[in-house]
Amino acid sequence: MAIAAIFPNDAEAIALIQEAFGATIDAYRAEKPSLRLRSGFAEGQQGLQLPESYAISALRSRFVMKPHLAETEQQAVIKAAYRQVFERDITREYGIALTAIESRFRSGEYSTKEFIRQLGHSRTYRDLFYEPFTIARSIELAVRHFLGRAISSREEFQIYFAVISEGGLAKLVDAIVDSAEYTDYFGEETVPYPRRLGQEAQECRNWSAQQQISAIVQKVPQFIRLSEAQNRCLISTITEPITTRSNRSVRFFQSIAPPSIPHPSTPKIGGF
Q: In the prediction, which pLDDT does 215 show?
A: 60
Looking at this protein, which amino acid is placed at residue 75? Q
Q: In the prediction, which pLDDT does 141 show?
A: 93
List, in order of start, the domains of the chain with CATH numbers: 71-203 (1.10.3130.20)
Q: In the prediction, which pLDDT does 89 show?
A: 85
Q: In the prediction, which pLDDT does 35 show?
A: 63
Q: In the prediction, which pLDDT does 152 show?
A: 82
Q: In the prediction, which pLDDT does 263 show?
A: 44
- Give residue-wise pLDDT tens across range 3-60: 667 777 788 877 887 888 787 777 666 555 566 665 555 555 555 565 555 555 555 6
User: How does pLDDT run along the chain (272 residues), one tens digit per residue?
Assistant: 566 677 777 888 778 878 887 877 776 665 555 666 655 555 555 555 655 555 555 556 789 999 889 999 999 999 999 999 999 888 888 888 899 999 999 999 999 999 999 999 999 999 999 999 999 999 999 999 999 988 888 889 999 999 999 999 999 999 999 999 999 999 999 999 988 765 566 666 666 666 665 566 677 777 766 666 556 554 454 445 544 444 544 444 454 444 554 444 444 444 43
pTM for the predicted model, two decimal places: 0.65
